[in-house]
Structure 1
Amino acid sequence: MLDTRLAYLLDPDLDPDHADVPPSVPASATTDERVLFDAYSDAVSSVVETVGPAVVRVDTRERVGDKPRGGTGSGVVISPDGLTLTNAHVVNGAREIRLSDTEGRTTEARLLGIDPDTDLALLRADASRNFAFAPLGDSKTLKRGHLAIAIGNPLGFESTVTAGVISALGRSLRATTGRMIEDVIQTDAALNPGNSGGPLVSSRGEVIGINTAVIVGAQGICFAVASNTANHVLSEIIMHGRVRRAYIGVAAQTVPVPRRQAIEAGIENRLGAMLTSIDQNGPASQAGLLTRDLVVRLDGEPVTGIDDLIRLLDRNRIGKRVTVDVLRLGRIRSFEITPIERVTVTS
């Protein structure tokens, strides 16, 4: 799990004069090597020709005090009627949103919904025409080493392409809300300010992720929210106007399970989620949970910390009874709790 200090793509010190340039074929390359280079180049070019027209520049305007302020990011149109995915941090707080395509056409857009917990937002372009679009692929089919192509508008340079590979799968990335984004894709395709919200694309021309973050000071470590996560988020926004998540009314912290108590209670967990506060009107309080209870299981699955508790509650458990096992005074106690919907407040 990567719980590091992640910076979104906002580093002003990057020099556009040193942008990545695709390597040329060495003069000493053999015929076979040249064939491989050509095949690689053709694959990247084909993807760019297919997906490039669906990538848009996202310009936002907001008012801070008496002064208007603007921002820029990227997005990708995913349907012919103008549904567009981008990052939540690109459009959060925006009063005006405009999309610009590769042909120079500018379209006003409406924010349909935003999910800071996954750093995703869904827009709809306000225009009565068919848009070039790129379909979302299945991120579960990815493997480490697969080709990954990032398209966006870094540092204000429109339609910029960088290529790399899938470096790792199943990473966890902490969102600005403090919650963990699961199944994040790690890639070494170069990302710079302005790439936020642009697509990460497979060699098949399918959008496999939405580019979101880099680790400042680390070369070749960039992240994208997986397309399957994006699919879930956009489905929730389209159906409900928001992303629904289960809530039981507790705050907790990750702590070690006392070894002696764990052995006596038959608990294999080394860590658990200790409840530090409880909403007196929430489901946990009504079920009888108390502060300092140590949650070790939810519906039979191990809870090894607050992130596990959040992740397990995100599994469509709103209104469905769950069993929470806690360690209290050296003994396991089980409680039946019915989670309610958690309301996410955005600016």
Structure 2
Amino acid sequence: MLNFEPHAAADQNLLDAYSMTVSDVADHVGPAVAMVAIKGKGHGSGVVISHDGLVITNAHVVGKANEVRVNLPEGGRLSARVLGRDPDTDLAILKADGSALAIAALGDSGTLRRGQIAIAIGNPLGFESTVTAGVISALGRSLRSPSGRPIEDVIQTDAALNPGNSGGALVASSGAVIGINTAMITGAQGICFAVASNTVQLVLSEVLQHGAVRRAWLGLASDTVAIPRRVADAAKITTRSAAVLHSIVAGGPADRAGVKEGDVLLTLDGRPVEGPGPLLRMLNADAIGRTVRLNLLRSGHLLSLDATLARRPDAQ
């Protein structure tokens, strides 16, 4: 007769350790996860990261509001103003009128591994300070933001999220905030997403220094298009897709460089452009003011144009 008792005891120890970890994280980080309320427009969650009231939330939570209310788990209600929002990463930075607030620390999302514990804290459907737990299901996902731009390096988790969790914390077992919860897939089970904490750090730095996230701008829109192998070979690239360009802004960098509607962008400064996502990733703040070489396909012919990138005028 088999004896399962040692295994049962081991399982119980593991469960006890898991439960203790989740409880400790909830106790440590929970006081720093607030409800963000927008007058007449519902609510979401936010993470307090400084004792004097810096709060991270989602851009879609605050919308176009400039003033919001931050309700703390322990009962305090603070007025807050929106310092900056970045719809391209679905993040917003608030400054609440408070002091000596409980805070959570941002961690390094670059060190994460699939399968490690992920704990979500927020206010789903108005139920304050709700804790759910799961694992990191995948890393490096891409998710379309409210602006239409893809958010890169998104964390996928099966920790349950619901409306109202948006802007709340995704936390590692160490207690470090590794992401800001942003979305779930309606109708799916256990497929939820968070903006990685390293992206949060970038947006926070840009907003505090410049009031907005700066990005370079070509002055056009694009879609993905397949390219024939002979074209790829002629352009000396290995990719089989590129970006077909349209909606050229009059007087913008692309227009001044001579780009025309229907041109297909193959490479930018020698780097393959496989579609809108890769192109947008290249247009970061470091590229502002830089002159870049555009290798294009126009009416079956290859050509090169130089464009000087500007700062995107609608960044806010």
TM-score by length of 1: 0.86
Give the counterpart letter for 1:292 in structure 2: G
Matched-pair contact (CA < 8 Å) for 2:254–2:307: yes
* Equivalent position of 2:68 in the other structure: 97
- Offset, 1:29: 7.4
| Higher mean C-alpha deviation, range 94-103 or range 228-237 | 94-103
* Equivalent position of 1:178 in the other structure: 148
* Equivalent position of 1:153 in the other structure: 123
2:38 is paired with a residue whose SS is strand
Counterpart CA distance in 1 for 2:275 and 2:83 is 33
Counterpart CA distance in 2 for 1:320 and 1:264 is 26
* Equivalent position of 2:22 in the other structure: 44
Q: Could you list the per-position Cα deviations for residues 109-146 of structure 1 after superposition, in whole angstroms to 9, with x for gaps in the alignment?
A: 1110011111100001112x211111110000000001
Matched-pair contact (CA < 8 Å) for 1:139–1:208: yes
Q: Pairwise mapping of residues 118-133 of structure 1 onto structure 2 (< 5 A)?
A: 118-127=89-98, 129-133=99-103
Q: Pairwise mapping of residues 244-259 of structure 1 onto structure 2 (< 5 A)?
A: 244-259=214-229
Unaligned runs of 5+ in 2: none
Counterpart CA distance in 2 for 1:125 and 1:157 is 22
| Higher mean C-alpha deviation, range 336-345 or range 170-179 | 336-345
Counterpart CA distance in 1 for 2:250 and 2:207 is 30
Corresponding position: 1:241 with 2:204: no
Are residues 153 and 225 of structure 1, via their aligned partners in 2, closer, same or farther at CA, if it must alter by over 3 Å? same
Give the counterpart letter for 1:279 in structure 2: V
Counterpart CA distance in 2 for 1:95 and 1:241 is 13
Counterpart CA distance in 2 for 1:54 and 1:77 is 5
Q: How many residues align?
A: 312
Q: Could you list the per-position Cα deviations for residues 62-120 of structure 1 after superposition, in whole angstroms to 9, with x for gaps in the alignment?
A: xxxxxxx2311110001111100001111112254111112111111111001111110
Matched-pair contact (CA < 8 Å) for 2:212–2:315: no
* Equivalent position of 2:201 in the other structure: 231
| Higher mean C-alpha deviation, range 42-51 or range 181-190 | 42-51
2:157 to 179, 184, 187: 187
Matched-pair contact (CA < 8 Å) for 1:265–1:331: no
Give the counterpart letter for 2:108 in structure 1: D
Identity of aligned residues (%): 58
Unaligned runs of 5+ in 1: 1-26, 62-68
* Equivalent position of 1:332 in the other structure: 302
Give the counterpart letter for 2:221 in structure 1: A
2:247 is paired with a residue whose SS is strand
Give the counterpart letter for 1:108 in structure 2: S
- Offset, 1:215: 0.4
Matched-pair contact (CA < 8 Å) for 2:69–2:80: yes
Counterpart CA distance in 2 for 1:333 and 1:302 is 15
* Equivalent position of 2:79 in the other structure: 108
1:178 is paired with a residue whose SS is coil
Measured on the aligned residues, the alpha-carbon RMSD in Å equals 1.7
Counterpart CA distance in 2 for 1:331 and 1:70 is 52
2:233 is paired with a residue whose SS is helix
* Equivalent position of 2:88 in the other structure: 117
